[in-house]
Homo-oligomer: A and B are copies of this chain.
Amino acid sequence: MIKVTLIGKGNVSYHLNKAFQAANNVQVIDVLPSRKNGLEIALRDKKNRDSDVYIITVSDDAISAVSQQLTNIDSLVVHTAGGVPIEALSKQLKSGIFYPLQTFSKDRELDYKTIPICIEAKTEEDLKLLKKLANAISDTSYEIDSEKRKQLHLAAVFVNNFSNHLYHIGHELCEENNVPFEVLKPLIKETALKMDALLPKNAQTGPAKRGDQKTIAGHLEQLKNQNHKKLYRFLTDSIQHTYGKKL
């Protein structure tokens, strides 16, 4: 049985807690507040100093300060942030990373089994513990160092944050023209699911890839929002650059 204490009460904490609760070999001792006083008081309680792993799930900028409060803890202390190096955790700690690479919203159920957990630690023993913890809730874990994780986090911004923003623009265009956004959902899904079978480079379709200048000119004329127009031009240019075509 791995005893776990979560620190922070945001989306990641909420979903991790649910996943750990459902696992056989993990016991969540408590979910502690991350604010200075609240955490300090909670850590006075002996049961809160007795876990095998402490998981800090606070915002990137707060990780370092929270870790400073845990220097009396002998157990492994990890954070869950993609873009923050292991060095952000206090040097006095046995430190590590437990980064579930997924987009978390409280309103959305998640199947934790499918979420890759990226782990990092400074000793073989700690790594083994994190691997065991990862496997308790997920089918896949990857050992990835801070430098590579930083790059992965950046790539995640492109495929998640930026794609979602494109969905938002698609939604706006539908609203403006009284077309149900519903019609686009199967396309959005298939675009993503295609990645199981094809490399993105080989899955590309559309006017930019085909070099269909007439359709591109028509689309630019249709777009009223100057921001959308610039974005359309920029992404079309980027696609044509990828396939050696010129605007």
Residues of chain A whose beta carbon lies under 8 Å from any beta carbon of chain B = 59-61, 83, 101-105, 107-108, 110, 114-116, 118, 142, 144, 148, 150-152, 154-171, 173-174, 176-180, 182-210, 212, 214-215, 218-219, 222-223, 227, 230-232, 234-235, 238-239, 241-242
> Is the pair B101, A165 in contact by a Cβ cutoff of 8 Å?
no
> Is the pair B164, A152 in contact by a Cβ cutoff of 8 Å?
no
| Chain B residue contacts of A222, Cβ below 8 A | 150-151, 154
| Chain B residue contacts of A118, Cβ below 8 A | 183
| Chain B residue contacts of A170, Cβ below 8 A | 155-156, 158-159, 200
> Is the pair A203, B154 in contact by a Cβ cutoff of 8 Å?
no
> Is the pair A204, B161 in contact by a Cβ cutoff of 8 Å?
yes
Most interface-central of A184, A197, A222 (chain B CB within 10 A) = A184
> Is the pair B152, A183 in contact by a Cβ cutoff of 8 Å?
yes
Most interface-central of A116, A165, A171, A205 (chain B CB within 10 A) = A165
> Is the pair B198, A60 in contact by a Cβ cutoff of 8 Å?
no
Among all A-B residue pairs, the 6 with the closest Cβ atoms: A161-B206, A192-B192, A167-B200, A168-B200, A151-B177, A159-B170
Task: Provide 11 A-B residue pairs closer than 8 Å at the C-beta atoms, listed in order of the A residue.
Answer: A102-B187, A115-B186, A116-B182, A151-B176, A151-B179, A155-B171, A156-B184, A159-B191, A165-B239, A168-B204, A191-B192
CB nearest neighbor in B for A149: B179
| Chain B residue contacts of A242, Cβ below 8 A | 165, 168
> Is the pair B183, A159 in contact by a Cβ cutoff of 8 Å?
no
Task: With A158-B173, A163-B188, A164-B191 given, name 8 new contacts (CB 8 A).
Answer: A107-B198, A108-B194, A152-B184, A160-B191, A160-B205, A161-B207, A161-B209, A163-B192
> Is the pair A183, B102 in contact by a Cβ cutoff of 8 Å?
no
Within the complex, the shortest CB–CB distance from A35 to chain B, in Å, comes to 18
| Chain B residue contacts of A223, Cβ below 8 A | 154
